[in-house]
Amino acid sequence: MSRGGSGGRTRVKTARGRTAASTRWLERQLNDPYVKKAKAEGYRSRAAYKLTELDERFSLLRGVERVVDLGVAPGGWAQVVRKMRPKAIVVGIDLLPTLPIEGVTLLQMDFMADAAPDLLSEALGGQADLVLSDMAANTVGHPQTDHLRTMALVEAAADFANQILRPGGAFVAKVLAGGADSGLVAGLKRNFTTVKHAKPPASRKDSSEWYVIAQGFRGTADSDA
């Protein structure tokens, strides 16, 4: 590893057993200002700033008391919620293990499992003010397939949000380039007063991720959303 260039950019030398792609990824991580900032401020991932920036724009965390974090690992979003709303009840779920976070109930299981919605609801102990979903399906390298797999998760998350949100609540979910499918957007517009797409500055420019932000839940469940 070496430093070069007038800006002090860290360059990574290709090591035995490391592919060129992994070398590029490591170099990008080491030079990513959000990664450095996350380490300095104690966040587990740069994704924490995506939620921070979305909150600055949409006031998502204002007054929230109960929050569900779908796809919680490694915990950056839950950390932001706890920092901004230290008394809020936060419940997270992920297939991957997540190190404990003070004040956060963590479930390690598949959100798509039949038992997951009831377990999340039980842990939350009431209606949610905000449902966050940073879930994305494991990619297979085929854009259309990856999009369909991720959108299936978003649709399931939206259906869950319709069941657990209080009137006036909000739903935020990661989608891929092009935003949410028209059918999903139509369902969200039936159930929320505003539906918008946003790409926070913390999302890498070459990333295909966007977020759909639905606010002002009308309090009417719609299983087609």
94 is in an annotated binding site: yes
Q: Which is higher by pLDDT, 173 or 14?
A: 173
Q: Is 129 annotated as a binding residue?
A: no
Whether 36 is a known active-site residue: answer no
Q: Which of 174, 189, 196, 205 is catalytic?
A: 174
Task: Write the CATH number of the domain with boundaries 46-217.
Answer: 3.40.50.150
Q: Residues 149-197: pLDDT tens digits? A: 888 999 999 999 999 999 999 999 998 766 668 889 999 999 999 999 9
Tell me: is residue 110 an annotated ligand-binding position.
yes
Look at the alpha carbons of 59, 64, 68, 74 in this order and tell me if their dihedral is positive or negative. positive
Average pLDDT over residues 31-52: 75
Q: What is the pLDDT of residues 55-74, one digit of tens each?
A: 999 999 999 999 999 999 99
Confidence grade of residue 14 (pLDDT, cut at 50, 70, 90): low
Supply the mean pLDDT for the chain. 84
* Annotated domain spans of the chain: 8-40, 46-217
